[in-house]
């Protein structure tokens, strides 16, 4: 039973539990399909305005997430989904006693949060086209 209490976060209140980390990751994965579905429904209703947005969905989503994630990283020290679950990013190496993120840390985090998923989706599309 000690094992389950540690998994539920009973050991250290400052650290997230395994379930919070998994839920945060799944929520991040489900944001794009949900937004794409909402966009496609409204694109059928208002095609004059939203068909272009639907055609360029990945770029529009990346631009939107860049703005959202930058705001949350700058103001709360966590990504959107991390902040939703009460998590925060801290430096593991403390230089000068500062726990907060530096601007370089913020831009690296943005690259991993927004840039890499966009590159991965582009590479997946090219692979699907090439493999037929």
The model's pLDDT over 4-40, given as tens digits with 9 standing for 90+, comes to 445 554 556 678 889 988 998 899 899 999 999 999 9
Integer angstrom CA distances of residue 22 from 71, 81, 120: 23, 11, 21
Rounded Cα–Cα distance for residues 88 and 115 (Å)? 20
pTM, rounded to two decimals: 0.80
Tokens of 87: 């998590």
């Amino acid at each position: 039973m000690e094992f389950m209490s540690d998994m539920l976060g009973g050991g250290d209140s400052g650290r997230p539990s395994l379930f919070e980390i998994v839920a945060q990751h799944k929520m991040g994965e489900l944001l794009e399909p949900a937004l794409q579905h909402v966009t496609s429904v409204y694109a059928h209703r208002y095609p004059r305005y939203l068909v272009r947005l639907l055609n360029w969905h990945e770029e529009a989503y990346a631009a939107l997430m860049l703005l959202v994630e930058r705001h949350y990283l700058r103001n709360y020290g966590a990504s959107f989904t991390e902040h939703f679950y009460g998590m925060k990013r801290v430096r593991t190496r403390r230089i000068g006693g500062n726990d907060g993120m530096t601007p370089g840390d913020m831009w690296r985090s943005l690259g991993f949060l927004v840039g890499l998923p966009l590159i991965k989706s582009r590479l997946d599309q090219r692979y699907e086209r090439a493999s037929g």
